[in-house]
Amino acid sequence: MFDTLTQRFEAVFAGLRGKGKLSEKDIDEALRQVRIALLEADVNLGVVKAFLTRIRERAVGEDVSKSITPGQQVIKIVHEELVETLGSQTVGLEKGPVPLTILMVGLQGSGKTTTAGKLAKLLTDRGKKPLLVAADLQRPAAVDQLETLGHQIGVPVLADRTSKPPKLAKSARKEAVRSGRDVIIIDTAGRLQIDEGLMKELAAVEKAADPAEVLLVVDAMTGQDAVNVARGFQERIDLTGVILTKLDGDARGGAAISVREVTGAPVKFAGVGERLDDLEPFHPERMASRILGMGDVLTLIEKAETVFDEQEAELTARKLEKGDFTLDDFLGQFQAIKSMGPLKDILAMLPGSGSLLREVDIDDRDLRRVEAIIQSMTPEERGNPRLIGGSRKRRIASGSGTSPQDVNRLLKQFAEAKKMMKTLAGGKGVPSLDGLLGSRSRR
């Protein structure tokens, strides 16, 4: 995500940090490089001009000239202004009447139907009971797609291929009340481009549904075009927010940085992967930190807390203190890490990891290899790796599709990890979940 833009910012910041004092010429050169980086990322020109003007006004001020570390002060200003551009604060869904009605709108191909399913999954995980409504009757496969998604996440789908979208939207409230659903998510039709027919249908559906939220789904891969799409929808319907999709792809950053400042509509969610749980609340400060190469530790902790159970962490700590940590426990840790998402994305949330990720080839197949090797061992071998001699290593390698050298390497890593984690846990009582996660990240 934003890899090229991040590299550009890192280069600018490296030049600023290396200077004891900053002249206006230094600041002008840094801002020139920032301008080039943003334009290359397809950020809207008006947004770029306003962003740089705000930075320059603050960067040539008294606070920077008198600062002990002027370079760091300018970096802080850039970060704060980028947060402001992205939206200043996290904006969640409206707390409207129950059932809360959410209208999903957008062009065809933006990922609207899939995002409706992801949003339903996210709300279900939060304890809500959503109802999906298949009101996209223009695309033949849209109803089938939404029904498939609903089945996968255990959310009912209201569909009637013979009905009209406004009528279906109006009947959704009665169905939600009847079935005890507290959120209605309506998937509407899209087009390849904004046209009169699309807008008339959306206006009719909006009137029938009376939604508390109208969320525009925008493909982040389209750059400035996403901003033009947002403007077009905003002129005809009352948008309450934006969802950016495909931020895990080769997104240059233009849409994410531009759309809120140009439209005034807050970005509420971001799609960061293909899985149904790859939809995140949009946090401007965290996104700014990611773009500037500063990592995103808070999101990493939140992801970890969803897969690492506190009681299991305490049990693991006790096992470490007693020396009972086994390869089964080791496997469990790797499987939990894998469930958090691609390893490269996880490591990218650590501050300063950008250059490391560009120099080192991070491959999720390494995690699968660990799984295969341990799963090819007998329960006895997992409990006592010292039993694993030459013949057993050859058998394990054959069963896992690896080599004896791979098995040796894993056993060595396990021994080192066990020793390090026992040192961390010993003499300090049971460490916190954060402490255990820290030790895992270093393993």
* pLDDT at position 443: 35
Mean pLDDT to the nearest integer, 81-94: 91
Mean pLDDT to the nearest integer, 55-68: 73
- What's the whole-number average pLDDT of the chain? 82
**Confidence at 63, pLDDT banded by 50, 70, 90:** low
Model pTM score? 0.70
* pLDDT at position 103: 96
**pLDDT tops 80 at residue 351:** no
Mean pLDDT to the nearest integer, 137-154: 92
CA distance 214 to 101: 9
**Confidence at 437, pLDDT banded by 50, 70, 90:** very low
CA distance 305 to 234: 37
**pLDDT tops 80 at residue 365:** no
CA distance 19 to 22: 7
> Which amino acid is present at 49?
K
Q: Where are the beta strands (DSSP E) in 272-408?
A: 279-281
For residues 338 and 367, is the Cβ–Cβ distance under 8 A? Answer: yes
Angle between helix 254-263 and helix 224-234 axes, rounded to 10 deg:
30
User: How does DSSP assign 393-435, residue by residue?
Assistant: HHHHHHHHTS-HHHHHHHHHHHHHHHHHHHHHHTTS-SPPHHH
Mean pLDDT to the nearest integer, 357-365: 59
For residues 74 and 64, is the Cβ–Cβ distance under 8 A? Answer: yes
CA distance 260 to 262: 6
Residue 197 CB neighbours (<10 A): 10
Computed from CA positions of residues 118, 311, 429, 318, in that sequence, does the dihedral angle turn out positive or negative?
Answer: negative
CA distance 61 to 63: 6
Q: Which domains does the chain have, with CATH numbers?
A: 3-86 (1.20.120.140), 100-291 (3.40.50.300), 300-442 (1.10.260.30)
Q: Which of 2-6, 10-14, 299-303 has the highest mean pLDDT?
A: 10-14
CA distance 355 to 85: 26
> Which amino acid is present at 50?
A
Which helix (H) or strand (E) segment is 334 a member of? helix 327-339
Measured CA distances, 287 to 45, 112, 269 (Å)? 20, 22, 11
> Which one, of 127, 121, 100, 93, lies nearest residue 182 by Cα?
100
* pLDDT at position 212: 94
Paired strand residues for 218: 244
* pLDDT at position 439: 37
> Which one, of 134, 31, 89, lies nearest residue 282 by Cα?
89
> Which one, of 252, 349, 239, 355, lies nearest residue 294 by Cα?
349
Torsion of CA 50, 55, 58, 63, to 10 degrees: 170
**Confidence at 157, pLDDT banded by 50, 70, 90:** very high
Query: Alpha carbon 73 to chain centroid distance?
Result: 28
* pLDDT at position 186: 97
Which tokens go with 164? 């009209």
* pLDDT at position 349: 63
> Which amino acid is present at 396?
I
**pLDDT tops 50 at residue 6:** yes
Query: pLDDT tens across 249-308, in order?
Result: 655 678 888 888 888 899 999 998 888 999 999 999 888 888 887 766 666 666 666 666
Flag the least confident range among 51-55, 173-177, 350-354: 350-354
Strands 279-281, 183-188: pairing kind: unpaired
* pLDDT at position 130: 97
Cβ burial of 96 (10 Å; 0-12, 13-18, 19+) is middle
**pLDDT tops 80 at residue 187:** yes
Query: pLDDT tens across 95-144, in order?
Result: 878 999 999 999 888 899 999 999 999 999 999 999 999 999 888 799 99
